[in-house]
Each structure stands twice: as structure tokens, then as C-alpha cells.
Structure 1
Amino acid sequence: MLETGIIDVHHHIIPRKYVEALAKKGIGAALGMPFPQWDIETTLELMDVNGIATAIVSISAPGVYFNTLPDAAVVACDLARQVNEIAAQLVADHPNRFGAFATLPLPDTEAALKEIEYALDTLKLDGIVLLTNYDGCYLGDSKFDEVLFELNRRNAVVFIHPDTPPEFDKIKIGLPAYAFDVCFDTTRAAYSLILSGMMEKYSSIRFILAHAGGTVPYLASRVRLINLALPEIAKKMPNGLEYYLKKFYYDTALSAYPATFSCLKEVLETTQIVFGSDYVFAPAPGIPITIQGIREYKGFDKEMVGAIERGNAMRLFPRLKRE
């Protein structure tokens, strides 16, 4: 199974130390959802049952930075180091079964650069997870220029995971952020990277977008028309919008639906689609539903399914070929 099974690039861990540290600060939920229970034994069992050979794990929102805390920067640095070392130990204990994205203590640039060096050079983690926004600033903001420069220099794999949109409490819709607003935040982050010129400037970063890119593919035609009203934007994407949309990777988490796949296929090649489950925040029954959705979609042939479930991710994580 390890040579042929699924590689899940959107798979979360919730270490007890992380939950306990947040609880001491009065934080007990993520995107409007209480933290679910997580343990390694249950995770491995679910992976085996569903044919998942390897999971690339990450910490989800709310991440490690909380601007309401008086010692926010210190807390972020400490928590990032803790969760990265926990992830590294998980990979060391089960090198064939797990990889990991490192968490950064953003928006502190200096601390983030130090953690990139430690996580990738010392811990040998497989990439970086970035939230869509930090303090309301999206990833295309110049505040992130130094961090993106370093990740580009390293040809890093960067998983973009949604966070709660800024001032979400003012949106009176009666649903938690995880219902669908997270998809809009992914969209903002992705288009901020393109329209700011960051995708052009830092073209060696391999970005993965959660949840099939949110609404990124669906809004492509609308965003293309921005050039008519704001021609200066076009200068920041000299290769045209479609070129940059096709550079992102898009995971299947909570998105394995014919209409979603049809939209993706209109915008990009299936070589850019990778398997994601969003476990443990998405419940265990969602894993076989996602697998079924991929395998039963009439627009994917057998070769495409194999690429989505494994082959495309192997290009991003060549370490798995050597283990």
C-alpha cells in the first residue's frame, strides 16, 4: 500500500500540548468549531481503512498568533516551535506514513525567517503552511515579501489554509466561518498573490490551495475583466491570469463534487489537483466520500485518478520516493 496508496496533503494534527496551551489563553475553537479529539492511533487506523499511504500533516487555523493577547508574538514563537517539533517527531516515528508542513510565527517576519531555517534545515520538514491572512493582511501584501523571498529561494512547497476572515463577527449570516466563508478567504489570498505580482516575482514557490481553491476557479472570468477597469493590474501578471491560476495546486478536501471538478478542469490541468481530506476537522466519514467523488467523476480517467490520489503529490514530495 505504501507504494501505491493515496497521499493526503490536507490532513491535520491537533497535539494535546497545542490545545492545552490555547486553552490557557482562553482559546478553544477553530473557525467556529471546537477542537475535535485527535490521536495517532485513530489516525493510522483511518488511513489504513481508506488506503491512505501518507498524510502530510499541518496545524489548521487558528494557528499560533492571536493579536488579542498582550504577549502575542512570544506565544506565537513558542507555539510554532512546539508544534513543529511535535510534527517532526511524528514523521521520524513513521517516516513512510507522514510528512509535515511547518507552522510560522507570522506576522513577525524575523521570527518567521528563523523558524523557516529551523523547520526546513534542522527538522527537515516537507514544506510550510501559511494561513490566508494574518491580522487582516493577505499573502500578497508587501509585509510578507521577505518570507516569500526566502521560500522562493528554497523552492518550497507552501500549503495555504484558510483562516477566519477579518471582522467575521460583523457578518450576520448565522453560520460559523467553516461553513463556507473559509473558501472566500482562500480566494482572497490566492488572488492577492496573483494581482500583487507576488506569483510572478516568486515563481519557484509551489503553492497548494485548500478546498479546490475556494472560489478561485469559478471567479476567473470576473477577475480577468479587472484588467479593463484597472489596467495597471495587468502589468503585475504579464503572462495573463490563466498562467498563474494553472501554477497553483488545488486539493480535493470537501470539494469532491462533479460541478467543482468540472470548473477546475476548465481552468487548469488535472496535473495540478492533489488529494486532500481535511481530517480531523472534517469527520472520518468524509474521507471515503471524497475518494468516491474522485473515482466516480466521469471527467477523470483511471490515469487521472491515480495522479490526483498519488502521482501529482509525489512530484511535490520526492522524499516519499526514497523512503
Structure 2
Amino acid sequence: MKVVALEEHMFPREVLVSAGLDLGSRASRRAAELDEVGEGRLAVMDEAGIDVQVLSTLGNIVQEFEPERASSVSRELNDRMAVVVTKHPDRFRGFATMPMTAPEVAADELRRGVEELGFVGAMIHGQTQGVFLDDPSVQPILATAERLGVPIYLHPGLPPAAVHDAYYAGFGPEISAGLAGAGWGWHSECALHVLRMVVAGVFERFPELQLIVGHMGEGLPFHLDRIETMLTPLVGHHDRTVGETLRNNLHLTTSGYNTATPLLCALLAFGADRILFSVDHPFADSVAAATFLRHAPISGADREKLAYRNAESLLFG
């Protein structure tokens, strides 16, 4: 069975040094693996039985730079990723990094990434300086993604400082970072981001725009019925209900989640056609993720959809 993994990160050490960037404490521990995009990474994929990784850089560390610097570093990262993909076109594909503080430039970088570099979409890491994807200023990016027929992968980002101080402060640095990030805050922040886009009418304006979120849907499958009941009456002027919009415009990946309970919840809430496999390399174990995929309590047809058929339809069709 072919396996395509969608949320697989990289960051070239050379760009890190030349641009004077800091990966942060968590990602710095994985710097060597993020830099490895050759035989070492291919060996990890082969051991797990993963045929294709869709690469993405950790764009969160450049996303909020002032426009000129964000544009320059994003372009360099995309050029470096394109070289990696070109060397192994049967094993790697790419998501573009965009300078979100310069939306018009970001839209053009997305166009360049897709039309000139062969990328299959873009990844955005949460809000940018307090601006979410429902803000009118980012419409050029969304319009370009819709026109090109490529998805945007919305990766969680850290909450704004005021939110962090209100909800996650008062503990030691590592505990606060864990609560605000991968231990909880990332997921609720990303789910809220998606719901903001829905209630703001983003998918009414861009009905063909496709969004991807990871971590088995960032909690949205569990809450979907409640969301439908509570929010749909408030946006009754939309053509579709909130739940219908989510099922039409949102895709989920399994990144970082290797247990049956959240997978079955996601399948019941969204259906097998909307779920795709991911590992979250190098922050999660490829062998463990692929093993779970192969042995999860689902049908063979659904397993193939998650493993590669949905990815081929959404990204490579």
C-alpha cells in the first residue's frame, strides 16, 4: 500500500545561520533532523514504509517578520525546498512558505511556488501579528489558492501574548510552553481559527478554497455537533450550515495522533474522504505512525483513502 505523509517539516541549517534565525527551544532539539533532507530522511521513510513526504518549513519563525525580511527569507526557503524536491521528485513534494506580513507578496510567492517550483499548496502557522485568515487583508492569498486549486495547510501557531498571559502563565517556562503549544493551546487556537473563517464567511467568498488542519482535526470532530447547533443559527444568512461548510472545505490529517479513539471520531464526524495520513516528522515517530495506519480498526478501502488516495486527489490530481 502506498503511503503519503503530509505534515513533514524541514529547515535548512544554512538558511538558519545566514538569516540569523532561532528555531526555539523545542525545534532546536530537532535541528539536525530538520536539516536532513537526503539519504538520512529517506532511510527513515523507507523503514516506516512511507513513499512520499510533503515537505514544509517551520515558517512560524519567519511568518511575523517585517515584510521585506519575511519576503526574502520565505523566497530563500522555497528555493531550497524546490532543490530538494527536484532531486527526489518521486519521494518529496512541497508546501510553500509565505511572508504573511506582506499579503500581496505572499500571494505572488504562492503563485510562484505552485506554477514555477511545482509545490502542491502552502502552509501557514496560525495568526500573524494578531491577524487571522478571516481578515480582509489576507484575501489575496486565499483568492490565489482558490484560483490555483491548491490547499492551505493551517498549522497551529502560538497564541498572542495577551492570550498566553491570561491562560497559560503562572507555571514554569516548560509547563507554560507545553500548555500553550502542543499540550493544548495549539489545538484550540487552530480550531478557533478555522471557526473564525467559517462564521466570517470566508468560504462563502471562496467556496472552492480547501483548508487542511492536522492533529486529527484539532478537536473539531469531537465538537462538530455542538458547533453546528450553536453557531449555525447565528450565520443563517450563509448558503450552508457551519457543519456543511466544514465538511466541504476542511480536510484533516492524523499528524501526531496514533490511537483509535480520535481516528474513529474523525471518521464518524467527517468521513473517510476528508482524512489524510501525516507523521509530523521529526517531532513524531514515522514507524509508529505508519504502523498505526496499517493496523487501525478501519476498512481496507478507508485505509487506502487515508494512506494515499485522498492525498493524490487533493494534492496531485
TM > 0.5: yes
Unaligned ranges ≥5, structure 2 = none
**Match of residue 163 from structure 1:** 157
* Alignment counterpart, residue 24 of structure 2, candidates 14, 21, 29: 29
Q: Which has the higher strand share?
A: 1
The one-letter amino acid paired with 1:51 is: G
Query: What TM-score do you get using the length of structure 1 for normalisation?
Result: 0.87
Query: What TM-score do you get using the length of structure 2 for normalisation?
Result: 0.88
Helix, strand or coil: the match of 2:17? helix
**Match of residue 295 from structure 1:** 294
Query: C-alpha distance in 2, partners of 1:142/1:195?
Result: 14
Q: How is 1:133-172 mapped onto 2 (pairs within 5 angstroms)?
A: 133-167=127-161, 169-170=164-165, 171-172=168-169
CA contact (8 A) 2:154 2:213 kept: yes
Let me know the Cα RMSD of the aligned residues.
2.0
CA contact (8 A) 2:123 2:152 kept: yes
Seen in structure 2, the aligned counterparts of structure 1 residues 252 and 92 have a Cα distance that, compared at 3 Å, is same
CA drift at 1:43: 0.8
* Residues 37-96 of structure 1: per-residue CA shift (max 9 Å, x gap): 1212221100011111111100125241335xxxx2221011100110011111111010
Seen in structure 2, the aligned counterparts of structure 1 residues 290 and 314 have a Cα distance that, compared at 3 Å, is same
Q: Which has the higher helix share?
A: 2
Residues 1:218 and 2:218 are matched in the alignment = no
Query: C-alpha distance in 1, partners of 2:231/2:17?
Result: 48
Helix, strand or coil: the match of 2:96? strand
Helix, strand or coil: the match of 1:86? helix
Helix, strand or coil: the match of 1:280? coil
* Residues 141-192 of structure 1: per-residue CA shift (max 9 Å, x gap): 2221121112111111221111111115412252422222211122022112
What is the identity percentage for the equivalent residue pairs of Structure 1 and Structure 2?
A: 19
Comparing 208-217 with 89-98, which one deviates more in the overlay?
208-217
Query: C-alpha distance in 1, partners of 2:59/2:235?
Result: 30
The one-letter amino acid paired with 2:157 is: D
Query: C-alpha distance in 2, partners of 1:66/1:201?
Result: 26
* Alignment counterpart, residue 280 of structure 1, candidates 274, 279, 282: 282
Residues 1:243 and 2:274 are matched in the alignment = no
Comparing 32-41 with 45-54, which one deviates more in the overlay?
32-41
Residues 1:265 and 2:298 are matched in the alignment = no
CA contact (8 A) 1:141 1:192 kept: no
Seen in structure 2, the aligned counterparts of structure 1 residues 219 and 11 have a Cα distance that, compared at 3 Å, is same
